[in-house]
Amino acid sequence: MAIKKAKIITITSVKGGTGKTTTALNLAGTYSLLNKKTLILDFDLYSGGIALSLDIDIRTDLYKLAYDMSVNDYKNIDDYVLSYNEYIDIIPAPKDPRYASKIETKYIGIILKKVEPKYDVVIIDTSHFLDASNLILFDRSDTIMYVMNNSPLDLKNLKSMLAIHKDMEKDNYVVVLNESNLKLNEMFTNYDIKSIIKNDINYVIPATFYNKNINRFVLKGKIMLLDKNVRFFNKKTVKVFNKMALDLLER
């Protein structure tokens, strides 16, 4: 009998403010609607926002998990998992960012081995820094998702990062263009973007997904795509996230 192993999807960017955490949350929400047991690991260690966005009390976190492993006080991964709903669990980033640097990278692989058999999908939210933790996470991921905006800085940085992947003959990544951030004026067409980054855009989150009341969802701890009204008025976005979710399961 084959051992169950979750699909590991690491969501990152090449600069801050692209909407990667919002993308991670709504992808998890999409998987929950597909009845897929999903864990969100918040490896944005210094400024993780998953627990805050879901209004979950941080009684345990990644630092506590790694520390207990280091002192042989670890018993069961369930002791460190916080539940959001029937299908979505999280392990938050350190509640106190001063402890972020104390998480030894050697425990990342061990943590992933503990959670893989328990879930259908593990979504990892990361920082935009190419540090040791991210390199390990990238190496252990089935798919690396780069969330980008339509801005010159983003395009230039992403082009460099994708060139590294290609030099290493790694193709386990997808590019997501987030057009829902209306604070950024459109500067390039999608054709221009593909020409600049020398890569296809795999998915586009439409501008219509922009919601001026997003802070209300955060304050209430709600995932936007789990709201019936949001899904009704954003059918195009729902279609994009559904396709994304199903495609990533097949990769």
Domain boundaries, the chain: 7-250
Instruction: Report which of 238, 18, 42 is spatially closest to residue 147, judged by C-alpha positions.
Output: 18
**Mean of pLDDT values over 216-238:** 93
Predicted local confidence at residue 181, as pLDDT: 76
Using 50, 70 and 90 to split pLDDT, how confident is the model at 240? Answer: very high
Question: Could you give the CA distance from residue 19 to residue 120 in angstroms, rounded to a whole number?
Answer: 24
Is there a contact between 116 and 122 (Cβ–Cβ < 8 Å)?
Answer: yes
For 95-124, the pLDDT digits (tens) are 999 999 999 999 999 999 999 999 999 999
The residue that leads in pLDDT, 57 or 216, is 57
Give the fold, CATH level 3, of 7-250.
Answer: Rossmann fold (3.40.50)
Percent of the chain with pLDDT over 70: 97
What count of other Cβ atoms lies within 10 Å of the Cβ of residue 108?
A: 23
State the pLDDT at residue 170. 87
* The pLDDT value given to residue 221: 92
| 25 CB neighbour count, 10 Å cutoff | 28
pLDDT of the residue at 31 = 98
Q: What's the residue count for the chain? A: 251
Give the Cα separation of 160 and 186 in Å (integer). Answer: 21
Q: Cα(50)–Cα(82) distance, rounded to whole angstroms?
A: 11
- What's the confidence (pLDDT) of residue 112? 97
Burial of 173-191, coded b for 16+ CB within 10 Å and e otherwise, reads: bbbbbbbbbeeeeeeeeee
Q: How confident is the model at residue 2 (pLDDT cuts 50, 70, 90)?
A: low
Q: Two tokens at 134?
A: 């991210």
Does residue 112 sit in helix, strand or coil?
helix
Average pLDDT over residues 20-35: 97
pTM of structure:
0.95
Q: What are the helix (H) ranges across 38-182?
A: 50-53, 62-70, 106-115, 132-140, 152-167
